[in-house]
Structure 1
Amino acid sequence: MAERIRRQHTVSKFYLKGFSSDEGRIRRVSLPGEPSVVLSARDASVVKDFYTVTLPDGSLSDYFERAFSKVEGEAAEALRLIIEGEWPIKGKGRASFAEWVALQHLRSEDVRSSQGAFNSEMIRLVVGVSGKEALRSVIEKAEGRMVSDEELDWEWRDITKVGGPDIKSTANQHIRLLTSLLPKMANYLYNCHWTLFRFKRRSIVTSDHPVSLVVAPDYPAWQGVGIATADLFLVPLSRRLALTIQPRSRFPEIPEGVSYVPDFTHEGTARISKSINQETAARARRYVYHHPSDSPLDGLYLPQPETRSEPSMSDASGLIREEGLFSGMGKGIGAQVTPSKSGGRSMTIDDLPWPIPGRQACEKPKTW
C-alpha cells in the first residue's frame, strides 16, 4: 500500500449526523470555548493517520479504519431505529450498538493518551527502583559506548521525573489494546441496564470523546476511572436523545420480588439536559459539537484542552532512588515490576528497550 496521509475519523460520521443540520453542517467549539466554527460533519473529527499501523515490513496500512466501518454500519442501523422510536432495542441491534459504544470509547484519543501515560510511569518505576548504574548499563549495552556521568545524570532526571519520560503511544500499541478489550467491553455493556432520555426542546451536545465514564461525586480523586469502575456510561445520541448505560452491579437496590429491571425511557428535563451537557463537555479533549442553530453551552464550564493525561498509578516517588531501591541485595532484586495486564510476567530494567519506543524528542546538552 502506498504510503500517504489518510484522513481518519476519531468520531463516527454517521453519529455526528444526529447533531447536524439538514444540510449536514455542525458547529465545532474548540475548548475552552473559542473558536467556534460551522463545518461539514464529514470533516469535524478528522485526524491524519490516527489508525494507520506499521506492518512488519515497514509499510503502512489503514486496515483498521476500514474494519471499523463494518461495526459503524450495523450501529448506524440500530441508532436509526432508536431515533425513529424503537425502544428498548434488543437482540442484534443491541449487540451492534453496544459494540459501537465500546469501539467509540476505546478508539478515542483519550485512551491512547492514557496508554502513553501508563507506559511512562511503568518505565519511570522500573528505572527508578533499579538505580542509575543499572540505567548506565542498559544504555552502554544498547549503544556500544561509554556513557559519561553528565549524560547519565540528564537521562536519569528525564526518565524519573514525575510522570516519567514523555512517551507518545503509537497506533500499533493503541490498536493492540483496542482489539484486546473490544469484545469484553461490548459484552459488558450489552448486559447493563440502558435508559433512553428524550428531549422535546432542550438540545444535547456531543464531543470528540462522546462516551463519558461517570462516577459518583464521592469517588476517590486519586483512583483512576476505567471500564470496570465506572458507575455509568453516558452517550449523547442526537440533538434530542441521550443514553445512559448502567452496570447492574451498581443499580440501586432492586425491590423484593423483582428479578430483572427492564430498560426504560425517561422524559428529559432542563436540569437533566444541563447535567448531560456538562458531563459531556467536561470529558471532551479538544472539541465540543452541537447543532449550528442551538446555544446549549451557555452557563456550562468548558475545560482547557487536553488536560486529562493524568497519572494512572499512585505516585511512586518514594521508590525512586539513585542507588536503587534494594541496593546491595543482589542483582535484579527490587527491580521487578508486574504490570496489571501483563498476565503475571515480571519486567526488569534488562527488558527496557533502548532507545525507549515512542519517547518524544528532547534536546540534550551539547557539552558531552
Structure 2
Amino acid sequence: MSERTKRQHVVPRFYLRHFTQEDGELWTHDCVTGSARKTTPEKTAFETNIYTPTGEDGARIDVIEDTLAKIESQAAKIYPELLAFRPLTPVAKLDFAAFLATMFARSPAQLRQFAQTMGQMALWGSRHEMEREFRQKKAKGEITAADTAVREILHSNEMFTMNVDRRVGLLAFQQAETLMHLMARMSWSFEVSEKQQLVTSDNPVFWVKGGGPPDLQGYGAGLGDRFAVIPFPLSPGVILRLDWRPEGAWKKFKLERQRAKLANQYQAKHKERLLFFRDSDQGLITLGMKYKAPVNQIDIGVPSPMIDVVRKL
C-alpha cells in the first residue's frame, strides 16, 4: 500500500500550475500576514489532514481525500480542451462540473462557514430544549435563581462565545452532487482577458448575480437563480463562465480590462486568505489587503453569539 497523503491541498496543484510562470512558480499573497511570496504549487495552499478526520478507532478516514484525487485526475484530462475553447461532451462536462462542485465545497471558506452554521443550529437546539424545561419547571413552581441565571446567559449573544471544530464543516461536501448537476445544466462560455492578468484564490468557485432586479432585503441569489453567474478562472487570461443564457453556450467573448479587474475583485472578496497570480503585481496585493475580512456567504438571518471555528477542540 502507498503511504497516505498528509499534506492535502485546498487548491489542487494541477490547477495552480496553469497560473505559473515558465519556471513553474507563481505568486501567493496572504492577506493575514500581508506577505507575497513566489513559490510552486506544491509548496502553497495546503494543510495537514484537512480532509481526513479521525474516526472513533483513532484511524484517519481518507474517503474525501481519495475521492478528490479521482475527481482531480479526470478534470486534469479535460482542462486542455477548455483552454483550447472546445465544447465538452456531456460526459466530460459532468466530470468537470464535479470538479467545480468539490472545489466549492473543499475551500477553507466553505468549511468554516458550514461549521459556523452547524454551531448556530446546535445552539438554537439547546435554547429550545432549555426553554421547554424552563416552562415545565415554572408550571410546577420549581424555578430557582440558578435556572434564571443560566437562561439569561444562554439567551445573551454578548455574554459568551462558542467554539466549533472545523471538521464539522466537512458536511459541505453533501451539497456537491446537487451543485454538480446544476452546474452541468448551465451554459458554459469563455471570457478572454488580453490586457489584465486574472487571479484565482483559495475559494475560487462562487456565484454572483449578473443582472436582474435587486434582491429583497435578507434574500440572496441561489445558483438556480436565472441571473446567477460562476466566473471560474482557468488561467491568467481565461475565465470559464457558467450562467443560464443558452445563447452563450461555448462561445468566446473578449473580457475588457475593467471587467477583468471586476473579476479579480470578486476573487479578492470571496477568498479566505490567499490570492494566486502569475506575475508580481502591487495592485493585486493591494486588492488582497483591501478585502482582508473572510467572506461570509451563508447568512441564516438570526443573530447568534460569536462562533469561532477552530482546527481542534
TM-score, shorter chain, exceeding 0.5: yes
Counterpart CA distance in 2 for 1:159 and 1:8 is 39
TM-score (norm 1): 0.69
Name the aligned partner's letter for residue 30 of structure 2: S
Counterpart CA distance in 1 for 2:111 and 2:148 is 30
Instruction: Identify the residue that residue 308 of structure 1 maps to in structure 2.
Output: 295
Instruction: Identify the residue that residue 31 of structure 1 maps to in structure 2.
Output: 31
1:67 offset after TM fit, Å? 2.0
TM-score (norm 2): 0.80
Q: Say if 1:238 and 1:159 are closer, same or farther in 2 by CA, change over 3 A.
A: farther
Checking the alignment, whether the CA contact within 8 Å between 1:212 and 1:233 is kept in structure 2 is: yes
1:233 aligns with 2:240: no
Instruction: Identify the residue that residue 206 of structure 1 maps to in structure 2.
Output: 200
Checking the alignment, whether the CA contact within 8 Å between 1:158 and 1:165 is kept in structure 2 is: no
Would you say how many aligned residue pairs link Structure 1 and Structure 2? 298
Checking the alignment, whether the CA contact within 8 Å between 1:235 and 1:242 is kept in structure 2 is: yes
Name the aligned partner's letter for residue 234 of structure 1: P
Instruction: Identify the residue that residue 93 of structure 1 maps to in structure 2.
Output: 92
User: Residue deviations 1:197-224, cap 9 Å, x none?
Assistant: 1223321000110112212573346335
Matched residues, percent identical?
Answer: 18
- Please, which of 223, 238, 253 is the counterpart of residue 219 of structure 2? 223
Checking the alignment, whether the CA contact within 8 Å between 2:25 and 2:41 is kept in structure 1 is: yes
Checking the alignment, whether the CA contact within 8 Å between 1:236 and 1:242 is kept in structure 2 is: yes
Checking the alignment, whether the CA contact within 8 Å between 2:189 and 2:250 is kept in structure 1 is: yes
Counterpart CA distance in 1 for 2:185 and 2:171 is 24
Structure 1 regions of 5+ residues with no counterpart? 138-147, 255-259, 321-356, 362-368
Q: Say if 1:56 and 1:21 are closer, same or farther in 2 by CA, change over 3 A.
A: same
Structure 1 stretch displaced more, 101-110 or 122-131: 122-131
Instruction: Identify the residue that residue 276 of structure 2 maps to in structure 1.
Output: 289
| SS of structure 1 residue aligned to 2:302 | coil
Q: Say if 1:10 and 1:154 are closer, same or farther in 2 by CA, change over 3 A.
A: farther
Checking the alignment, whether the CA contact within 8 Å between 1:51 and 1:62 is kept in structure 2 is: yes
1:149 offset after TM fit, Å? 5.8
Name the aligned partner's letter for residue 42 of structure 2: R
Structure 1 stretch displaced more, 223-232 or 260-269: 223-232
1:11 offset after TM fit, Å? 0.6
1:109 offset after TM fit, Å? 1.3
Checking the alignment, whether the CA contact within 8 Å between 2:189 and 2:248 is kept in structure 1 is: no
1:124 aligns with 2:123: yes
Checking the alignment, whether the CA contact within 8 Å between 1:117 and 1:311 is kept in structure 2 is: no
Q: Say if 1:243 and 1:298 are closer, same or farther in 2 by CA, change over 3 A.
A: same
1:88 offset after TM fit, Å? 2.3
Counterpart CA distance in 2 for 1:196 and 1:305 is 29
Counterpart CA distance in 1 for 2:23 and 2:79 is 20
Counterpart CA distance in 1 for 2:297 and 2:87 is 37
Counterpart CA distance in 2 for 1:169 and 1:36 is 29
Q: Over alpha carbons, which structure has the higher Rg?
A: 1
User: Residue deviations 1:134-184, cap 9 Å, x none?
Assistant: 38x9xxxxxxxxxx966984686367526985242443x444441x32222
Checking the alignment, whether the CA contact within 8 Å between 2:202 and 2:273 is kept in structure 1 is: yes
Q: Say if 1:177 and 1:281 are closer, same or farther in 2 by CA, change over 3 A.
A: closer
Instruction: Identify the residue that residue 157 of structure 1 maps to in structure 2.
Output: 153
User: Residue deviations 1:46-86, cap 9 Å, x none?
Assistant: 11211012224232133321221111011111112222x14
Checking the alignment, whether the CA contact within 8 Å between 1:212 and 1:279 is kept in structure 2 is: no
Counterpart CA distance in 1 for 2:161 and 2:152 is 10
| SS of structure 1 residue aligned to 2:204 | coil
Counterpart CA distance in 2 for 1:212 and 1:93 is 21
1:190 aligns with 2:189: no
Name the aligned partner's letter for residue 288 of structure 1: L
Counterpart CA distance in 2 for 1:44 and 1:126 is 39
Instruction: Identify the residue that residue 139 of structure 2 maps to in structure 1.
Output: none
Structure 1 stretch displaced more, 191-200 or 292-301: 292-301
Name the aligned partner's letter for residue 88 of structure 2: I
Counterpart CA distance in 1 for 2:7 and 2:285 is 32
Q: Say if 1:21 and 1:210 are closer, same or farther in 2 by CA, change over 3 A.
A: same
| SS of structure 1 residue aligned to 2:252 | strand
1:273 aligns with 2:260: yes
Structure 2 regions of 5+ residues with no counterpart? 137-143
Checking the alignment, whether the CA contact within 8 Å between 2:51 and 2:170 is kept in structure 1 is: yes
1:128 offset after TM fit, Å? 3.1
Q: Say if 1:4 and 1:128 are closer, same or farther in 2 by CA, change over 3 A.
A: same
Root-mean-square deviation (Å):
3.6
Counterpart CA distance in 2 for 1:221 and 1:27 is 38
